[in-house]
Amino acid sequence: MKRIGMGLVGAGFVGPHHIDAVRRLGFVDVVAVAGSSDESGRGKAEALGVQKGYGSYQALLDDPDVQVVHNATPNYLHYEVTSAALARGKHVVSDKPLAMTAAQAKRLVNEAQRAGVVAAVTFNYRGNPLVQQARLAIVRGDIGTPHFLHGYYLQDWLIKDTDYSWRLDPEKGGASSALGDIGSHWCDLAQHVTGLRITHVLGDIATVVKKRKKPRGLREAFQTEVDGDGEFVDIRVEDLASVLVRFDNGARGCFSVGQVCAGHKNDLVLEVCGRKASLRWRQEAQNELWVGHRDTANEVLQKDPSLLDADARGYAHLPGGHQEAWADAFCNLMREIYRCIAEGPPYASLPPMVATFEDGFRANRIVDAILESAADGGAWTAVGK
């Protein structure tokens, strides 16, 4: 198989997982990493065992060996890095959100179309085998028509006033923190699993930690305070939100997101209630899918390739009882994206499991509508097309 060259821009928390995932594919060479300075580019390349470390994303884009650019920079750089990569005719794997604003995201949808390359967004929870099993079960009609979707996505890594991330600075993270960062995952997953579209939202948002100590230097995601250095600043973006949701088939829903909920580490829960049965998947126990019945005992389906549908089985790589996790689901996504790239032009559409730039744009639109609803005092608000 022809080998494919990958370059990563932004090697903080999630970037190295992009590298791990593509290395597992066997036909992808991790060619280069770009950091925010020469020193950080070189340091990251050395730490990750990558041959070339660049001090700017422009230098990485100049490298002819880089065919696929992975954008794992803070949100405010998403548009410029992705747009520049597309202009060079490179394939792009953008971490979410696709862009900081819906207007930028829409521009990227058009730019990717014009470039004629493979362009994907890492809404990675789609890559879990039991998520795909749930999706296929719903398509088959196993639970009947969904009428209620509910759940939450809660974390606790920003609960202290000494916890800080660029996500809390609207200039760097965008107008939203919790909703944009993790609410977007919940909405994408709910729509992906059911095939429904969120049409209207009613949001209530809050900033629980109103002042935070902002470190003077760089702090990557999930790092805690090290040296006590920094000063308290006002926080304007939400770290907690609850949302009522309406879907295009008339189904109702609700979810909460929070980055300030002790004990919840990466606790994403989605339950879909249909007229015949319910399904529930929880990221923190991702090897199980709960199936709720009215007239028979409820069930728990274990992640076991021999028990999964043929179309979901390929996403499980170990026998039952051997736990698979976040990084395995992330790798499933990369396998599908690079399969498309390897097949060559004209590039086929990505399989449903991979979020497209259109999906990324839609996620931006939903978050915008929730913020608008909250600003209107909790009014039902249509999600823009």
Ligand X SMILES: NC(=O)c1ccc[n+]([C@@H]2O[C@H](COP(=O)([O-])OP(=O)(O)OC[C@H]3O[C@@H](n4cnc5c(N)ncnc54)[C@H](O)[C@@H]3O)[C@@H](O)[C@H]2O)c1
Instruction: With residue 381 as reference, give the H or E element that holds it.
Output: strand 381-382
Neighbour count for residue 83 (Cβ, 10 Å): 17
* 150 three-class SS: strand
Q: Using CB positions, name the residue nearest to ligand X.
A: 12
Told to check if 328 binds ligand X by CB under 6 A, we report no
Out of 4, 11, 69, 134, the residue judged to bind ligand X by CB under 6 A: 11
Task: Tell me the C-alpha distance between 290 and 29, whole Å.
Answer: 39
Which C-beta is closer to ligand X: that of 215 or that of 274?
215
Out of 163, 169, 181, 238, the residue judged to bind ligand X by CB under 6 A: 181
- What is the contact mask toward ligand X in residues 216 to 245, using x (rule: CB under 6 A)? --x-xx------------------------
Task: Select the span of 69-77, 228-236, 274-282, 373-381 touching ligand X (CB under 6 A).
Answer: 69-77
Task: Select the span of 4-12, 208-216, 346-354, 367-375 touching ligand X (CB under 6 A).
Answer: 4-12
Told to check if 65 binds ligand X by CB under 6 A, we report no
Hey, which residues between 99 and 128 contact ligand X (CB under 6 A)? 122, 124
Told to check if 98 binds ligand X by CB under 6 A, we report no
Which C-beta is closer to ligand X: that of 40 or that of 286?
40
Task: Tell me the C-alpha distance between 95 and 181, whole Å.
Answer: 11
Task: Select the span of 35-43, 203-211, 243-251, 298-306 touching ligand X (CB under 6 A).
Answer: 35-43
What's at 267, amino acid-wise? D
Task: Tell me the C-alpha distance between 213 and 234, whole Å.
Answer: 9
Backbone angles phi, psi at 290, to 5 degrees: -85, 135
Neighbour count for residue 378 (Cβ, 10 Å): 14
Which C-beta is closer to ligand X: that of 58 or that of 145?
58
Task: Tell me the C-alpha distance between 348 and 290, whole Å.
Answer: 34
Exposure letters 9-45 (e unless 16+ CB within 10 A, then b): bbbbebbbbbbebbbebeebbbbbbbbbeeebbbebb
Task: Select the span of 66-74, 270-278, 283-291, 346-354 touching ligand X (CB under 6 A).
Answer: 66-74
Told to check if 10 binds ligand X by CB under 6 A, we report yes
Interaction site with ligand X (CB under 6 A): 9-15, 34-36, 40, 57, 72-75, 77, 95-96, 122, 124, 166, 181, 218, 220-221
